[in-house]
Amino acid sequence: MNLAPHASILAIAVPLLGGFALPLWAKLHRRLGELWLFLVGAFTAAMVVLLAVQVFTGGIQVYTLGASSPGETLAPGGFPIRIMLVVDGMGAFTALISVLVALVSFLYAWRFLTEDHGKTLALTLGLLLWAGMLGMVLTGDLFNFFVFFEVTSIAACGLIGYRTWEARGVEAAFKTMVMYTVGGLLVLLAIAVLYGEHGALNLAYLSSRIQGSLPDRIALGLLLGGLLMKVGAVPAHMWAPDAYGEAPAQAVILLVANTQASLYGLLRILFTLFGGITDPVVGWLVTGLGTVTLVVAALMAVIQTDLGRLVAYGAVSQIGYMLLGVGVGFTVIRARPEYGLVAMQGGIFHMLNDAAAIGLLFLCVGAVERAAGARDLRGLGGLSHDLKWTAGFFLLGALALAGIPPLNGFASKFMIYESSFRLSPILTALATLASILLLAVFIRAFQGAFLGPRGKPSEPEPFGMVLAMGVLALAVLALGLAPDFFVRHLVAPAAEALWQGRDLYLAAVLGG
């Protein structure tokens, strides 16, 4: 059987069904559960990679559920009534990020968690979260985007608070649930407004009908509000440091990928759904929120003494850089200057770089907590004597996060600096200062946790944890040493799909 035409639907269905089946296999035998997780993860990754190859070599891929053939798009009357999966360069790029993060998360959890600490539950929720993320980035239907949006919200809150024996995790999950619920309600209300106005839910069809009426603009505002909440932009960022700081390490990197899936949704709304009525005011709003986010988060990181929360604020600050890059691009998209496309590429490239660097740092935090039983920098020190790999990986991730060449953070940040300077030098100055501040903060954290005299002896990291961290460390180095390769083959197609690919997206679904 040829699975290639069905890669998009299989990429969603397999982890979704696999997540529900995992507890059953684990109940029979622990090894069966681990084997099932490996098979589901490998098959899903293969389907996403296959889909990405199809997109990057053959263009936009459309899959219509319930049609006589997967590529059929329209009903006889010319109206798209069926559920469609529509994957362009941006969707494929975001799906590949989720694959990298999910596989590393599962590998790390294999040795980080035990059944006494909810291993099967955590892995089940992880699979469901992965399926929800893939559904968000592959769907071409606005209502099903909301459905998967809610799937990720439920699974993410479960991952944050499943350790009910720790009160802080439950509290963080409740805060996150409140913010996700408000954001979800805003998105649902926006969908209702658009459906009432245009009588459709298909993204391409809606985009062809939106003319910028008052209901359209109300829906845009609601969608922006709901998605920015889940992205974690200031001032709706308060859930993110708690969630990232209290969730177990293997779950945090999935939460970071989930945030990026929400950012994908924001980009799809701006550049595709409302791409026909581009408004520089909206671009300036996104640019301003991105700049405020990266500055506020960097300042908040300065006062943190908990290593997990310090890295969490570093993660929030990187969302600001992504918003800054894509915001600059959306602000100038009418004139389409070259620096606008460079800004888009920088913001999108930073999504991949952030997943690698921030993911690496959070895994290091998990290794520190496992070895020392604490994360307070005032009580740590000298861990490099026993956690040599973790110390090296943490330093690598910290330098990458701060944008030190030749690591991956430098490549994407330089693109953002260069392009944002053309729009306003103030934006570049603030972004550069925030990076310098983060460098100082993370060097202090490295010194506090890993340097100094040897304290209580700690058990070295298990091989599985080192391997998971090593995969992300290699990604950091590869992305930094060969940025042109990744920009040319992955980032540029993703940016082009948003920058000037709206017409191709609509044509792929609606014909013409």
Domain extent for 413: 279-481
How many C-beta atoms surround the C-beta of residue 171 within 10 A? 14
pLDDT value, residue 423: 92
Contact status, residue 313 vs residue 304, Cβ threshold 8 Å = yes
* pLDDT greater at residue 510 or residue 113: 510
212 lies in a domain? no
407 lies in a domain? yes
Contact status, residue 451 vs residue 445, Cβ threshold 8 Å = no
* Tens of pLDDT, residues 315-344: 999 999 999 999 999 999 988 899 999 999
The residues near 98 (Cβ < 8 Å, ≥ 6 apart) are 48, 130, 133, 134, 137, 257, 260, 261
pLDDT value, residue 442: 93
Residue 285 to residue 386: CA distance in whole angstroms: 47
389 lies in a domain? yes
pLDDT score of 96 more than 90: yes
Q: Are strands 61-64 and 84-87 parallel, antiparallel or unpaired?
A: antiparallel
* Tens of pLDDT, residues 219-265: 999 999 999 999 999 888 889 898 998 888 889 999 999 999 999 99
* Tens of pLDDT, residues 344-402: 999 999 999 999 999 999 999 998 988 887 788 888 888 888 888 999 999 999 999 98
417 lies in a domain? yes
| Beta strands per DSSP E along 277-357 | none
pLDDT value, residue 69: 66
Tokens representing residue 162 in the block? 């499943």
pLDDT score of 76 more than 60: no
Residue 149 to residue 129: CA distance in whole angstroms: 10
Provide the domain count of the chain.
Answer: 1
pLDDT score of 297 more than 60: yes
31 lies in a domain? no
Handedness of CA 137, 139, 143, 149 (dihedral sign): negative
Contact status, residue 156 vs residue 176, Cβ threshold 8 Å = yes
Residue 23 to residue 123: CA distance in whole angstroms: 9
Over residues 18-38, mean pLDDT:
89
Over residues 4-15, mean pLDDT:
92
Comparing 49-58, 161-170, 209-218, 445-454, the range with the smallest average pLDDT is 161-170
pLDDT above 90: percentage of residues in the chain: 67
pLDDT score of 207 more than 70: yes
pTM exceeds 0.85 for this model: yes
pLDDT score of 512 more than 80: no
**Unique residue bearing structure tokens 């699975």:** 3
pLDDT value, residue 280: 87
473 lies in a domain? yes
pLDDT value, residue 223: 95
Comparing 40-44, 154-158, 282-286, 403-407, the range with the smallest average pLDDT is 403-407
pLDDT score of 179 more than 80: yes
* pLDDT greater at residue 343 or residue 28: 343
302 lies in a domain? yes
pLDDT above 70: percentage of residues in the chain: 96
443 lies in a domain? yes
Shortest CA distance to 89 belongs to which of 50, 47, 61, 130?
61
pLDDT score of 466 more than 80: yes
pLDDT score of 6 more than 60: yes
Contact status, residue 510 vs residue 73, Cβ threshold 8 Å = yes
Residue 5 to residue 291: CA distance in whole angstroms: 42
